[in-house]
Amino acid sequence: MSRFSIVIPVYRNSANIPDLLSALSGVRPEIRSELSVVFVIDGSPDDSEQQLRWRLPDCPFASTIIRHSRNFGSFAAIRTGLEHTTGEFIGVMAADLQEPIEWVEDVLLLLAADKADVCIGVRASRHDDAGSQLLSELYWGFYRRVVMPEIPPGGVDVFAVTKRVAAVLTALPETNSSLVGQLMWVGFRRLEVPYHRQRRMAGKSAWTFKAKLRYLMNSFFAFTSIPITLMMSIGAAGMGLSALYGLVVLIARLTGQIPEAGFAAIITTILLTTCLNLLCLGILGQYLFRTYENTRGRPLSIISEKTTIPPSPLQGRGAGGEGSRVKG
């Protein structure tokens, strides 16, 4: 059993693999000697898996390659990695190296020193484009205000946990949820550790607008009842206004101020109430869909293959060493 483990979901990261393995091979000796890394290939359509299988035998750390049967999403890949780690202290990072490996080293040692049960990365700075930064700040500001005040500004992209916390997380079988939200929900002793988010040096991010929208909805509907409460408030306010309006119309009709019903007012009222009903049904549907998904009991991911690779006996030859340069 390794003392330290790192979980890395892999999807469309072929261009990042050489630098990633070089960074992992260069971690501090006190970590590297007891390190195992779990790579979860989440249905990646490129040659990321082939590169890992080719290069990992030359790396000075033990590793495991787990392949999903299809793409289940990064959170599902992280959960799979957490379920198959052997370390007492587990770091989770992306394969694109936007979160520095030095941060993972620091927090693994903090966990080993019993300073916390959960270490969460807090962005001290980032090198994304202005539009992405603005949207991120707006979303996470809103999320912190109305859903989960304890979540760090800018959200959570990287974290580390003890084996006990990992076991608690993987025991939560919720589908269409947010692993970050679950991480905050389970509690334990948390420590926020700042880092500087790096610019992506190679490849193109798979974090598309569609993926961001799905993540937004899962994060929101899985951890708050505010939309339903808002619907009830709007419905109650609408009933009160409708009763008042009906009383005014009745009085006006009885006093002869309205000779005949207004066509425009009727059509406008019908359109508004119909759209409001559809909106409310859609919100209710989001909650019902998630309940239905959880009752079906389908697995959150399916593993098609698992391969364990021992560390290279030639410790001088890492992913950045001579053997890798020949293979690269």
Token pair recorded at residue 216 = 């937004």
Token pair recorded at residue 273 = 């109430």
* 54, β-bridge pairs: none
Decide if pLDDT at 320 tops 50: no
State residue 221's pLDDT score: 61
Of residues 176 and 70, more confidence is placed in 70
Q: pTM for the whole thing? A: 0.67
Cβ atoms of 32 and 1 closer than 8 Å: no
Of residues 304 and 320, more confidence is placed in 304
Cβ atoms of 81 and 154 closer than 8 Å: no
Token pair recorded at residue 244 = 């008042």
Q: Within the chain, how many helices (H) and strands (E) appear?
A: 12, 8
Token pair recorded at residue 168 = 């608690």
* 123-175 residue pLDDT tens: 776 555 666 666 666 766 677 676 666 777 666 778 899 999 988 888 877 76
The per-residue pLDDT of the chain, averaged, comes to 75
Mention every residue, 6+ apart, whose C-beta is less than 8 A from residue 196.
100, 123, 124, 125, 126
State residue 319's pLDDT score: 44
Sheet strands (E) in 47-189: 62-68, 89-92, 118-125, 159-162
Q: Rg of the chain over CA atoms, in angstroms?
A: 26
80-94, 136-150, 296-310: the lowest-pLDDT one: 136-150
Of residues 324 and 39, more confidence is placed in 39
* 90-114 residue pLDDT tens: 999 888 888 888 888 888 999 998 8
Strand 35-41 with 62-68, pairing: parallel
Token pair recorded at residue 254 = 């009885």
* 27-71 residue pLDDT tens: 888 888 888 999 999 888 888 888 899 888 888 888 899 998 888
CA–CA separation, 40 and 85 (whole Å): 11
Residue 38 burial (C-beta neighbours within 10 Å; 0-12, 13-18, 19+) = buried
State residue 186's pLDDT score: 81
Q: What is the average per-residue pLDDT within 295-303?
A: 70
